[in-house]
Amino acid sequence: NAGVTQTPKFQVLKTGQSMTLQCAQDMNHNSMYWYRQDPGMGLRLIYYSASEGTTDKGEVPNGYNVSRLNKREFSLRLESAAPSQTSVYFCASSEEVWQGRNTIYFGEGSWLTVV
């Protein structure tokens, strides 16, 4: 019963390097999300995918791209990492974002440090 699985769990990048965070869910959910969590800022939405084939910007999309590869997988790419992107990243999923009862379930997080 894995739920939402993210990889890698830890990563150190140099400024300007690129990388992709991978996320997969096994709950047959339609909607998936990427959040970042910073001290004192709480959880902020980067991008979301309401359903397979669609993606939309959240509150803090600059510097990121996403791909909804299929119903299960939703990846987050940093094309040219900056120190300001040092954060903890959480992938999440829910049955259907447009439903009134839309409980979101989170992965365990990916700790990213950009030096």
Partner 1 sequence: EDQVTQSPEALRLQEGESSSLNCSYTVSGLRGLFWYRQDPGKGPEFLFTLYSAGEEKEKERLKATLTKKESFLHITAPKPEDSATYLCAVPGGSYIPTFGRGTSLIVHP
Nearer to partner 1 among residue 10 and residue 14 (C-beta): 10
Nearer to partner 1 among residue 4 and residue 114 (C-beta): 4
Which of 77, 76, 68 lies closest to 97 in space, CA to CA?
68
Q: Is 104 in the site for partner 1 (CB under 8 A)?
A: yes
87 contacts 76 by C-beta, under 8 angstroms: no
* Closest distance of CB 108 from partner 1, Å: 5
Segment 47-55 long-range contacts (CB within 8 Å, at least 24 positions apart): 47/76, 48/97, 49/74, 50/96, 50/97, 50/98, 51/96
Number of residues in contact with partner 1 under rule CB under 8 A: 25
Residues in 4-33 that interact with partner 1 by CB under 8 A: 4, 33
Q: Is 107 in the site for partner 1 (CB under 8 A)?
A: yes
The residue ranges that bind partner 1 (CB under 8 A) are 4, 33, 40-45, 48, 58, 90, 92, 97-109
